[in-house]
Amino acid sequence: MNIGIPKERRPFEYRVGLSPAGVEMLCRAGHSCFVEHGAGLGAGFSDLDYEKAGARTVYLMDEVFGRSDLLVKVQRPIQEELEYLRPDSTIAGYLLLASARQDKIDVLLNKKITSIAFEQIQLADGSLPVLRPFSEVCGLMTGQIAARLLQSNLGGKGILLSGVPGVPPAEVAVIGAGVVGTNSVRSFLGLGAHVTVLDNNIEALQKLYDRFPSVVTMNSTERNIERVCSYADVVIGAVLIPGERSPIVVPRSIVQKMKPRSVIIDVSIDMGGCFETSRPTNHENPTFVEEGVTHYCVPNIPGVIARTATHAYVNAVMPYLEELTTSGIESAITNNNAIAAAVNTHNGEIRHLKRLTGGGGLHGLE
What pLDDT does residue 357 have?
Answer: 39
Same domain assignment for residues 290 and 323 = no
Kindly state the average pLDDT of the residues 249-276: 96
How far apart, in whole angstroms, are the C-alpha atoms of residue 356 and residue 98?
A: 6
C-alpha distances out from residue 151 to 155, 173, 223, 255, 294, Å: 7, 18, 29, 20, 12
Quote the pTM value. 0.87
Same domain assignment for residues 151 and 101 = no
What pLDDT does residue 136 have?
Answer: 96
* Beta carbons within 10 angstroms of residue 152's beta carbon: 10
Angle at 290 between CA 356 and CA 274, to 5 degrees: 30
What pLDDT does residue 359 have?
Answer: 37
- For residue 116, being part of any structural domain is answered with yes
Q: Which of 284, 303, 322 is the last residue of a domain?
A: 303
Same domain assignment for residues 106 and 146 = no
Which runs of E-coded beta strand occur in 37-89? 56-58, 70-75
Number of compact structural domains in the chain = 2
The domain that contains 314 carries what CATH number?
Answer: 3.40.50.720
What pLDDT does residue 353 have?
Answer: 84
Q: What is the pLDDT of residues 75-127, one digit of tens each?
A: 989 989 999 999 999 999 999 887 788 899 999 999 999 999 999 999 999 89
Q: What is the pLDDT of residues 36-66, one digit of tens each?
A: 999 999 999 999 999 999 999 999 999 999 9
- For residue 361, being part of any structural domain is answered with no
Residue 124: burial class (beta carbons within 10 Å; 0-12, 13-18, 19+): exposed
**In this structure, what are the phi and psi dihedrals at residue 75, rounded to the nearest 5 degrees?**
-90, 160
What pLDDT does residue 363 have?
Answer: 35
Same domain assignment for residues 149 and 273 = yes
Q: In the structure, what pLDDT confidence band is assigned to residue 365 with cuts at 50, 70 and 90?
A: very low
Same domain assignment for residues 173 and 287 = yes
Residue 234: burial class (beta carbons within 10 Å; 0-12, 13-18, 19+): buried
Kindly state the average pLDDT of the residues 263-270: 96
Same domain assignment for residues 238 and 284 = yes
Same domain assignment for residues 154 and 271 = yes
Same domain assignment for residues 245 and 103 = no
- For residue 362, being part of any structural domain is answered with no
C-alpha distances out from residue 38 to 9, 58, 73, 185, 281, Å: 11, 10, 14, 36, 26
Q: What is the pLDDT of residues 122-143, one digit of tens each?
A: 999 989 999 999 999 999 999 9
DSSP secondary structure, 153-198, as one string: GGTS----TT-BTTBPPPEEEEE--SHHHHHHHHHHHHTT-EEEEE
What rounded mean pLDDT belongs to the chain? 93
Q: What is the pLDDT of residues 282-298, one digit of tens each?
A: 999 999 999 999 999 99
How far apart, in whole angstroms, are the C-alpha atoms of residue 75 and residue 280?
A: 15
What pLDDT does residue 241 have?
Answer: 84
**What is the sign of the dihedral through the CA atoms of 41, 300, 91 and 9?**
negative
Q: Is the pLDDT of residue 217 over 60?
A: yes
Task: Name 202's Cβ contacts closer than 8 Å, sequence gap at least 6.
Answer: 219
How far apart, in whole angstroms, are the C-alpha atoms of residue 203 and residue 210?
A: 11
How far apart, in whole angstroms, are the C-alpha atoms of residue 268 and residue 133?
A: 15
Same domain assignment for residues 73 and 222 = no
Q: In the structure, what pLDDT confidence band is assigned to residue 366 with cuts at 50, 70 and 90?
A: very low
Per-position b or e across 131-150, b if 16+ CB within 10 A of its CB: bbbbbbbbbbbbbebbbebb
What pLDDT does residue 355 have?
Answer: 62
Q: Is the pLDDT of residue 358 over 60?
A: no
How far apart, in whole angstroms, are the C-alpha atoms of residue 304 and residue 298?
A: 11
Q: Which of 303, 338, 358 is the last residue of a domain?
A: 303
- For residue 335, being part of any structural domain is answered with yes
**Contact present, 40 and 108 (Cβ < 8 Å):** no
Q: With pLDDT > 70 as the criterion, what percentage of the chain qualifies?
A: 96
Same domain assignment for residues 293 and 153 = yes
Same domain assignment for residues 249 and 323 = no
Domain that residue 193 falls in: 131-303
- For residue 213, being part of any structural domain is answered with yes
- For residue 357, being part of any structural domain is answered with no
What pLDDT does residue 100 have?
Answer: 81
- For residue 363, being part of any structural domain is answered with no
How far apart, in whole angstroms, are the C-alpha atoms of residue 47 and residue 20?
A: 9
If residue 36 lies in a helix (H) or strand (E), which one and from where to where?
Answer: strand 32-36
Same domain assignment for residues 273 and 339 = no
If residue 61 lies in a helix (H) or strand (E), which one and from where to where?
Answer: helix 61-67
- For residue 339, being part of any structural domain is answered with yes
Task: Name 115's Cβ contacts closer than 8 Å, sequence gap at least 6.
Answer: 90, 91, 92, 95, 97, 108, 343, 344, 345, 346
